[in-house]
Structure 1
């Protein structure tokens, strides 16, 4: 993959950094950095060309050298078992960070694959660590991202261990709704770039189960489907389904 590396020289006074000009800046890793600090962060970023749908950003077993912030599009994180069967472990949306599961390791334990035409900002980890030593706010933001990743993994473990299929799907849809809302998008209508097979893999459900439940939710007026587009019509009912799963524990 060809990388376009930004220069390390300081920006002319008054010039807006590329991070400052990005619509995701208020949700991204450098959130809260002062303008001067943001320029230093901007200087370490490498921006590869866009990835097409199905292209691998990183592959399981590859050396870990960088983190990647999703600027546009979306990705799935997958792990292959001993039988080379792939299991989806996470979905990544704009402003989220890929590669956190490899921090502290020599290799990537999972692959990250584009679900659609996507664009990422590459952060060489050595440069990021060095900058974090000088900018405590950036180091704190990185720790928060890692903590959120751990919390997400714990939530998924509980979901798959205790929840029914209905509750798993309701929780997934609510999670996608909340993550879109946090980025300033509509919590009621969004595109699911991942396939139903990917959703099933993530939730530990068969493809047929996901399709059947989606149709049932639509019949019951919880949502409306139009290709990859989903409109959530009754968030309170979906929340009730998800809460029942928690109550059962």
Structure 2
């Protein structure tokens, strides 16, 4: 049962991202009955970690997260950054345990959808099952495109594409696509793009010198969007 009675899928401003298919009021009520709206997750706190048993899927209401896997030596590989409206936890569906860790980059709020109940409910609401499949497919496609970028693009292309796509994702949330805060560290950004932190810093400086962007600590302003797009092409 929801722990926040004043919040529901019907009045959530980002529900169209995690639930873009139109559900009836009765279907939304059924979903609200199983959703657990958890307490705030603080910066650097983990939502789940490698080896944890699958308990549910998580829809991000506010804040940002990063996901990473690690090898036997404890070296991390960042696999994704997640924004409000994203649904995470699909990585555990196959083996019912999480192969990686997801950690808050800032104070965040999530809605937990218990998996066992969700599985039953999705059989009652065909459009909900369709949405889960759609989200899984979108995540797979995004990861494939990222892998292609990592293997085939230059360092400058990788960073330019990331800035453009990050802005696009913010625009989907009715936020500015050209003025935004990067919540991740440059180390994490470089790790995700397959670049050293020195390369990330050098390229950001070059983009700024070219007057494509301005940078104030973590705050980015895209001045010449077309130049970044042209570089990615």
User: What is the TM-score normalised by the length of structure 2?
Assistant: 0.96
4+ residue runs over 4 A deviation = none
Which of 212, 219, 226 is the equivalent residue of 2:209? 219
Gaps of 5+ in 2: none
Indicate if the aligned counterparts of 1:46 and 1:122 stay in contact, CA closer than 8 A: yes
Indicate if the aligned counterparts of 1:79 and 1:88 stay in contact, CA closer than 8 A: yes
CA-atom RMSD, angstroms?
1.5
d(CA) in 2 for partners of 1:169, 1:69 = 27
Which of 20, 25, 35 is the equivalent residue of 2:10? 20
Residue by residue over 1:89-139, the C-alpha shift from the partner in whole angstroms, topping out at 9 and shown as x without a partner, is 000000101111111222101100000010110011111111110111111
**Residue equivalent to 1:86:** 76
Give the number of equivalent residue pairs.
Answer: 232
Gaps of 5+ in 1: 244-249
Which sits farther off after the overlay, 163-172 or 35-44? 35-44
d(CA) in 1 for partners of 2:219, 2:30 = 39
d(CA) in 2 for partners of 1:229, 1:155 = 26
**Residue equivalent to 1:127:** 117
d(CA) in 1 for partners of 2:42, 2:19 = 24
- 3-state DSSP class of the match of 1:193? coil
User: What is the TM-score normalised by the length of structure 1?
Assistant: 0.90
**Residue equivalent to 1:143:** 133
d(CA) in 2 for partners of 1:127, 1:29 = 17
